[in-house]
Amino acid sequence: MAEMAAVLLPGEAEALVQALRSGPLRNTGDRGWLRQHEAIEKLNMQAILSASAGQEQLLIELLVNYAKIPTLIEELISVEIWKHKVFPMLCQLEDFKPKSTFPIYLVLYHEASIVNLLETVFFHKEICESAEDTILDLIDYSYRKLTLLAAWSTNREFPTHEKLVPEDLTNASSMQVVIAMKALVSRT
């Protein structure tokens, strides 16, 4: 059997997992937060590669041993709060004219990255057990996404990836529906 290509070496993966932290909402989008987003992206890519090769044990062990599943769930909830409370206020500011919408997109995309990483690793009993009480927060999050999808389904309009364009960042609901579909499809 051919050896799997790795995004991260075991030592790199361990360092990234160890460095995962929950931060205050006010730090969303700053340099430290961006480094953490990059780390989550790398861990996500490694998790997907490892799972497709049936070799995800190292990442599972790291996330369990360093108790980082609750941290990931807390980050997920934090980004959801930012998206619903802070982002709309930013969009309403008269002087809000960012030179680039990419940092805002990254914050919105961060939710999808965490959902995808959790989706990939939550097939293992150890991960579910290591979530501890934050599993209730994840259940609440999933319920909110299910409610969102139910509301959208009454209109029979589900946005597709083609409809999500960078210019439409003020309409975060399109991305929200796609993330909700991703979160719920992974549970079925």
Look at the chain and count its residues.
Answer: 188
Distance CA 130, CA 2 (A): 32
pLDDT in tens, 162-187: 443 444 444 555 666 666 666 655 54
Task: Give the confidence band of 62 by pLDDT, cuts at 50, 70, 90.
Answer: very high
pLDDT in tens, 45-59: 999 999 998 888 899
* pLDDT (0 to 100) of residue 183: 60
How many domains is the chain partitioned into structurally?
1
Report if residue 5 sits inside a domain. no
Mean pLDDT of the chain: 84
Write down the pTM of the prediction.
Answer: 0.80
Domain membership flag for residue 44: yes
- 106: exposed, middle or buried (Cβ count in 10 Å: 0-12, 13-18, 19+): middle
What are the angstrom distances between the C-alpha of 123 and each of 23, 67, 82, 88, 93? Answer: 27, 17, 28, 34, 43
Q: Is 75 a residue whose pLDDT tops 90?
A: yes
Would the pLDDT of 160 be above 50? no
Q: Is the pLDDT of residue 98 over 70?
A: yes
User: Rg of the Cα trace of the chain?
Assistant: 17
In a domain, 4, yes or no: no
Q: Is residue 1 part of a domain?
A: no
- Which range marks the domain in which residue 149 is found? 10-185
Whether the per-residue pLDDT at 155 is higher than 70: the answer is no
Q: Among positive and negative, which fits the CA dihedral 98, 26, 180, 51?
A: positive
